Structure 1
Amino acid sequence: MAMAMAGSLLLPWVEGLVGKAADALVQRVTSMWGVDNYRRKLEDQLVYVRSLLADAEEKAEAKTEAGRAVKAWMKKLKAAAYEADNVLDSFQYEALRDEAQPSKSASRKVLYFSRDRLMFHHKASRDLKNVLDKIEELVAEMNTFGLLERAEAPQALYRQTCLALDESLDIFGRDDDKEAVVKILLDQKDQKVVQVLPIIGMGGLGKTTLAKMVYNNHKVQKHFELKMWHCVSENFEATAVVRSIIELATNGRCDLPDNMELLRGKLHEAIGRKRFLLVLDDVWNEEPRKWEDDLKPLLCSSNGGSGSMIIVTSRSQQVASIMGTHPPYELACLSEDDSWKLFTKKAFNNRGAQEQPDELVTFGRRIVNRCKGLPLALKTMGGLMSSMHQVQEWRTIAESNMGDTGNEVLSILKLSYRYLSSEMKQCFAFCAVFPKDYEMEKDKLIQLWMANGFIHEKGNMDLAKKGELVFNELVQRSFLQDVNVKEISYLQRCYKVIRYKMHDLMHDLAKDVTDECAFAAEFIDKIYQ
């Protein structure tokens, strides 16, 4: 599924390959198949090539024998890059197969280990080794050109915005919460031992949003020498968490094996006596041993300067009691006034409620009351109502039976899901094949939708444009969120990579509704044949 390249500008392309080689899904499969050493070597070689490409592209413009040699080399690199992209895509696809596998029938599990699967395993592993050999040959040739690493080389040109709050993000009623949590953090400046502050509340309440507001606060940015954010979700294994923290602290990759003593030493070296803030977002672990025996001694005992803090966000009171050194900060539902502001901003597309017919306001108030002050529910229902303009439509939603899922937010999300088009339902449900908290590239997601036949032509509009409209609509309705832009600036040009995540409740919904989609059986059959 190779992407197009503009002219001879290989740099953004190689940068994308580096990211794909380091992708968590790819690592999972290469590790399972025993070929992760090839993947690591490929990533290392691509990183090295990337560091010299700026000089190579400039030298290739020279009308000299040396320039022609570099230009010919770049042509070979381009061909090898396409091969590498296809090989890495095959591993990503296999990882998605693994994500779907655990819930499938015993017969399909047997099929997974069939002769065809083993042949695919062998072919993909062989292709990875072959493309590594080609890249290594190209690196050896590159080293004869006398290329120099340029100060403006793009190793530092990525500007990550994943923790920056989108200016369009709708946040109401959390300023007091932000100030309260910031005060707690700053008041610990003389504490010698690392302190842990849990932020707890039910799903969809905005715990992560509050943590981001605090993380980006100018006082917090100034107070802490080192700031790190790690999304835990369901993986609370000590080696995975510590490895991630090391990489965040050093802004580089940690190549150490899963040996806790080695990781401990590297962690101490990376953090030292710096005053740090670590956010462990979305923690589910309720096993005291995993914290008390494995992680607490590493994170709270010997690392960090005075006033270092860990913020833990969780739905679980049990998590707070296990990890917290402070009483948990319990996030409350939004007030009626703030709930109405959030809903109307989405529902009326920033037009004031005072401009709307009285009947819409009446039914809108009833819809807001059913959301019970939960931001995710309010945004989702507001996004739904923004597409409805008739009073009768608003009455129908206000009086509809949301069903009983045992979870008020999930019931509201299911109601909103009912009003998606069949095309949007398929595209949304497809996202369940990715792990929770996985960042997916917008363009690649649309390509996957198109490849699986979820997007249909409409008039003269091409499929990619139609896919973009579906993506934007899912974002507008809050089925996809945390849309972040990663920018690459190179030779006065800016390249943007757009990524998204799903709220974990939306991920639960996508898994729950997969069987309702017409494509489900066909898709599962396709990936297991």
Structure 2
Amino acid sequence: MCHFVSVGQICHFIFALRWTGSQEQSLQDHVLQLQSDLQRLSDTLPAMYELINGAEWRSHEHSVAKLLPSLKDAVSEAEYLIDEFRWYETKAQVEEIASQSPLIDFLEKVIQGNFNKLNDVQSRLNHLSSQLENMGLRGVTQRFDKLVRPETTSLPYETEIFGRDMELEKVLGCLIVPKNSKRKRVTSSINASTGASSSNQVSTEPRILSLAVLPIIGIGGVGKTTLTQHVCSNQRVKSHFDQIIWICVSDDFDVKRLTKEVIQSCTGKEATTGNLDSLQRALSNHVNNKRLLIVLDDMWDDALKENGQCWKRFCAPFRSVQEGTVMLVTTRCPNVTERVGTMRPIILEGLKDDVFWKFFKSCTFGSEGSKKYPELECIGRRILSKLKGSPLGAKTLGRMLSMDLQASHWNFILESELWELKQEESDILPALRLSYIYLPFYLKQCFSFCAVYPKDYVFKKARLAEIWVAEGFVEPQAGVPIQDVGVQYFEDLVARSFFQDVGGRYVIHDLMHDMAQKVSEHDCFILRNKSDFDKVPRNVRHLYVHHSNDFDDSNLLRLCKYTKLRTLICKKNLGENTGFVMDKWCTELLCMRVISCAFTNELPDSIGNWKHLRYLEITRACPLKMIPSTFCWLYYLQVLYVKQCNLESLPSDFGNLINLQKFESLGLPIYGRYSYLDSAHRQGQGIRLIKNLNQFRGHLEIDNVGILSKDHAAKAELKNKKYLDELKLNMQGSLGLPESQIIPDD
């Protein structure tokens, strides 16, 4: 997300111009035009973000899907140019330049003869915007297309249900359905029956106290609707309730629409009045003193809008139902479960291995079975691991495999990534993509970025939040440290089941990861071996390089052609060659914002070219001892993690890194998440280096304060370090920080 340029930020350069005659006039004309072009580009971007969001809702349409990568590319170019200008502005601020030279440098970069990069990007945005608007993307309410999310009914699509006997019995128990099918009236409230133990209760607002609500929750394609259909078709259930009402909610929780559908389900007649009061009174009369099973299938947190009042309004007519009535809600949203449920939810997870294999065989081979195809059975068992017990996943691949019962076809599917296989709108990845589409735009950016990490990657909350900030995905909130906002984004995604908390370790479910790779297929890529180089998207922005023995320095030099790279996570250790490779990267990959590499023996002088860099990490022990002076041109740098490197000195202009917030190093001035100034002979230099580092977070510890002069102490300007959590001033030096004082990453 771009942080926009203000007119005032540009104008002060105009008054610094001190040229004469026609040169001065010409330069001022260029500056005024530059000001106008930059402001126009900044003003355009919010609408473009909204357009991207709208296009993703309609990305199942081929014409929209074709333009979406181009729109994202043009927006990225616009962000780059604005970010570039802000770098020159920061340079002038840091170096206290009173002339026009930074602005002239920027002018020379964007205006080359008659070609103006700002105008070119603006024209692209206008053209793409116009095309998408002609497709009806402007000002349309974002709802799931019926092709993407077809309406469901209470009749089972599958004659047999696999591996859900225990869950089915749990639901029947919660409905208090008698063991025999003979009709039996209950005399006590279901709330009282199921709520005697406080452990069975969830939150209390908003809910209708006389109406029991049982949520069934799970990720897309896990079988929530199928289970509920079999509940409704169960003879004991049909005998127990006066009526079963099935409503497909989807993402449009419109009280009037839903009330009309309930009335039509009760009476068989369409409700004609448009007055909500009349509708609700009519519904109240229809359901009066009846024991009902009301199914709300596929409910999203749109139901919780208006701070829960929308949900309460819908439930109001059901106050007249007979005790024992149950509302059964299927959802993939934990928020829905927590805020409307009155009973412990039924959590659906993937099918267990044996039953999943049985189900997979029925999807693939049908009634004839697999005995005729022992070779395919062997391949099929290996394919199952891709699906993590997902019934819809089994149906999806089962359909693909059944089309060609040849080993070559099956091996092709086995060796392909799931996200690379073409799927119908009712298949597993499109089903999971609905969860992504429903996210706010800022969370979409954060989650889709995670596709750059391999499956089973363990995420650290605070570290990922720092990278999201560096990428520009996190929107500042007044008075809240931006990294804390990023952490809240992470927790929001956990709450929506995009990350799983497995014993305090955060991972992404394999199928959700496949979905992330699908929605970011033009932006993110993982290089596992040399053959993958042929598959890298032309405009890739985020790249992960495995530590494969396939790679050598010549392979990694090929990355230089991907000039739009913003992120490079390189796990390959190239030993002494990394300095050469890094120099080439720093020369060619000028959009870089995040770089994490396993090893480098040096940071080349060309690192000063990485004007946009916010995050630099070296993850393993390496002989890096010095940071070049050009490193101090990285005015945007926020995070520097080199804690396995034994640095011996810092450049004299290190204090120019005015946005630096975290610096981890093994032995020099700043240690762990502390700024740690050791050794008396370096105190003067160390104090001067931290003068301008006013964005530091965490803890700052300074040793040997007793030997500092008054002037040295004043130069630290500690009063400006307003983001510190703790400041320690030690009169004498210490040999090191006690382990108990070091704050963990999270």
TM range (shorter): 0.3 to 0.5
Scaled by the length of structure 2, the TM-score of the pair is 0.33
- Which one has the largest radius of gyration? 2
Q: Which structure has the highest helix share of the two?
A: 1
Pick 1 or 2: higher relative contact order, CA cutoff 8 A, min separation 6.
1
